[in-house]
Amino acid sequence: MNRISQRRGYLMRRGLWYSLALCLLILLIGGVGFWALEPGIESLQEGLWLAFTTAATVGYGDVVPKTPFGRAFAVLVVLLGLAVLSLVTASLAALFVERDVEAEERQIERDLMREIRALREQVSALEQSLQDNDETSSHPKRSNG
C-alpha cells in the first residue's frame, strides 16, 4: 500500500513539474512571439514581460500589443496561459489534498481489518459451538439404571 502511495505522489509531483515546464515554455514562446510581432517591443525581456502579464491576465498596461497580429497573438497567449496556470493550480491543490485522502484511506483500511478480525473470531466461535453441539448429540447419555 505504501509503495502505491509513493507512486501516486511521484506522478502528482511529476505532473506538477510538467505543468510548470509547459507554463515556462508558453511564456518563452509568447515572449519571443511578442518580440517578433510587436515593433514597440525592443528586447526579449520586454516580450517576456508582456507574455507574462498577458498569460496571467494581469495587464498592467505598461506594455501592450498594438498591431492586429500582436493582439491576436495576445488572445492565444491568454487562452493558453489560463489553461496552463489552471493545470498548475490543480496540481498544487492535488498535492495538498492527497495527504488528507491517504490518511483517511489508511484509517478506513485499519477499521476494515479490525472488523474482519472480529468477524473471524465470531465465525470461529460459531464453529466451535457447532462442534460442541455435534459431540454432545452424537454421544448418548448412559442411564444409571
SS3 helix, strand, coil % of the chain, rounded to 5? Answer: 80, 0, 20
Confidence of residue 3 (pLDDT cuts 50, 70, 90): low
Minimum mean pLDDT range among 3-17, 28-42, 116-130: 3-17
Rounded Cα distance, 44 and 83, in Å: 24
pLDDT tens-digit readout, 97-125: 777 777 888 899 999 999 999 999 999 99
pLDDT value at residue 88: 80
pLDDT value at residue 5: 64
Using an 8 Å Cβ cutoff, are 55 and 81 in contact? yes
pLDDT value at residue 63: 83
